[in-house]
Amino acid sequence: MTPESSPFRPGQPVPIEFFVGRSPEIERLRGMVNASTQGRFKIGFVSGERGIGKSSLAAFVRHLVEHDHDVAGCHVFLGGVQDLREMLRRTFDRILKESIDKPWHQQLITLFGDRVSKVGLFGVTLELNLEERDMLAMERHFVPSMRRLLESLGEHKKSLFLILDDINGLAGSESFANWLKSTVDEIATSQQEMRLCILVVGLEERRQELIEKQSSLARVFELIEIAPWSDDEVRWFYSDSFRAGGAEVSQEGLDSLARFAGGLPVLAHEIGDAVWRTARGPTIEKNEISEGISTAAEVIGRKLLNPQIFSAIRSKSYHSIFRKMADEPKTHFRRAELRELLTDAEKKSLDNFLRRMTSLGALEKDPEVRGGYRFPNLLHALYFWMESQRRRREK
């Protein structure tokens, strides 16, 4: 079927009506935002592996609280940002830009004064031009600056829900870690109300890295960990999405899709999209699902894996090892188990295979099991499995 009619959105934020699952996380976040509307400052950390749906969850909750709780939302994307000042600059710039069609816009313009300029053809967008001393002031006086900003929002909205997304580049910054801690302390000791809920979004290993920099941060955040979707959630996702596109999949087809997507939304969209393109009519056939999954493996490998890992996995010398790797998705395995399944010739290349995959970071040694290996994340585990199935089908 045509790519334009595909209900899947690989690589893009999910439209609100296709958002699946995450009810407990949504409720917790709503509770936090609600508390902030009563003047209690809240700060949370949404963690989970790549492609699990962190940004989508944050965006979904923002949509809900803007509509149901009379809250102003602001989603700041900090991908690539490595220092605190740039983070602060982007945050205030985003708050300003997102206010353009809101009733508190004029108050913000007044607040930022001559630091705001109109840019772009026809002056359609605003730019916040901050000088070095402004940035320094923002860093040192973040809490009072934020209070002023919240005051100008106050007559229109009950609180601000500020999403600091993709802080991965900042996690190694000591000044960011210390700033976060002292900001939270300053608010807590001031005894004044603060109608603000901050949501920091990043990988779990980055949260750990932040804590290493500033150990008290461990107890500062309310932690919201995102787990993979359950198989039922993946099946709902597929049956709703195909139905929305006017197509249908059998129960068996849904089971097979759920097995390959393994609860990882980013894979679910890629696989769904590939199956959609492969299908010749609105009733999705079994062989179209298998064909779609093979195509998806190619796309996913190129898009989501490190290119060196991808090319090592595709190396001809490992095809036959992959063919024997697994009957089902596994997160860890033992060398001896795999070795047993191999021919003499394959056994000879096994150690080379394990060494290469480990040195590239596609596999890690399992410290708790002798001769044990594990995948660093779900994406790699599922990809190895897809590749293994693909090689078998080729045979």
Residue numbers of the site for ligand ATP (CB under 6 A)? 9-14, 18-22, 48, 50-56, 166, 237, 265-266, 269
- Contact pick of 55, 173, 256, 389 for Mg ion (by CB under 5 A): 55
CB-based contact 176:87 (threshold 8 Å): yes
Q: Which of 118, 68, 74, 130 is nearest to 99 (CA)?
A: 74
52 contact choice in ligand ATP, Mg ion, none (CB below 5 to 8 Å, kind-dependent): ligand ATP
378 contact choice in ligand ATP, Mg ion, none (CB below 5 to 8 Å, kind-dependent): none
Minimum Å distance from CB 382 to ligand ATP?
Answer: 14
Minimum Å distance from CB 142 to Mg ion?
Answer: 24
Q: From CA 34, how far away is CA 345, in angstroms rounded?
A: 63
Minimum Å distance from CB 51 to Mg ion?
Answer: 8
Enumerate the β-bridge partners of residue 118.
Answer: 126
Distance of CA 390 to the CA centre of its chain: 27
Minimum Å distance from CB 21 to ligand ATP?
Answer: 6
388 binds Mg ion (CB under 5 A): no
Task: Kindly indicate which of the ranges 46-54, 122-130, 151-159, 330-338 contains the residues binding Mg ion, using the contact rule CB under 5 A.
Answer: 46-54
Q: Residue 104 or 236: which CB sits closer to ligand ATP?
A: 236
Question: Both ends of the chain: CA-CA distance in Å?
Answer: 27
> Shortest Cβ contact with ligand ATP: which residue?
53
292 contact choice in ligand ATP, Mg ion, none (CB below 5 to 8 Å, kind-dependent): none
CB-based contact 167:84 (threshold 8 Å): no
Minimum Å distance from CB 233 to ligand ATP?
Answer: 8
User: Phi first, then psi: what are they for 367, rounded to 5°?
Assistant: -65, -20
DSSP-based helix, strand, coil % in the chain, nearest 5:
60, 10, 25
Complete DSSP assignment for 117-170: EEESGGG-EEEE---HHHHHHHHHTHHHHHHHHHHHHHTT-S-EEEEEE-GGGG
9 contact choice in Mg ion, ligand ATP, none (CB below 5 to 8 Å, kind-dependent): ligand ATP
CB-based contact 314:357 (threshold 8 Å): no
CA-based R_g, the chain, Å: 24
Q: Residue 25 or 346: which CB sits closer to ligand ATP?
A: 25
CB-based contact 272:293 (threshold 8 Å): no
Minimum Å distance from CB 52 to ligand ATP?
Answer: 5
Minimum Å distance from CB 18 to ligand ATP?
Answer: 5
Instruction: Tell me the CB-side half-sphere exposure of residue 58, using CA atoms within 13 A.
Output: 27
56 binds Mg ion (CB under 5 A): no
CB-based contact 229:52 (threshold 8 Å): no
Task: Kindly indicate which of the ranges 50-58, 155-163, 216-224, 264-272 contains the residues binding Mg ion, using the contact rule CB under 5 A.
Answer: 50-58
| Total residues at interface with Mg ion (CB under 5 A) | 2
Q: Residue 51 or 329: which CB sits closer to Mg ion?
A: 51
Q: Residue 57 or 184: which CB sits closer to Mg ion?
A: 57
Q: Residue 54 or 380: which CB sits closer to Mg ion?
A: 54
The encoded tokens of residue 142 equal 């973040």
265 contact choice in Mg ion, ligand ATP, none (CB below 5 to 8 Å, kind-dependent): ligand ATP
Q: At which residue do the structure tokens 């001031």 appear?
A: 190
47 binds Mg ion (CB under 5 A): no
Q: Residue 54 or 235: which CB sits closer to Mg ion?
A: 54
Helix axes 378-394, 286-304, angle to 10 degrees: 130
Q: Residue ranges of the alpha helices (H) in 167-306?
A: 174-190, 204-213, 231-244, 251-261, 265-278, 286-304
377 binds Mg ion (CB under 5 A): no
What residues have CB less than 8 Å from 283, skipping those under 6 apart?
247, 248
Minimum Å distance from CB 201 to ligand ATP?
Answer: 7
73 contact choice in ligand ATP, Mg ion, none (CB below 5 to 8 Å, kind-dependent): none
Residues near Mg ion, by CB under 5 A: 54-55
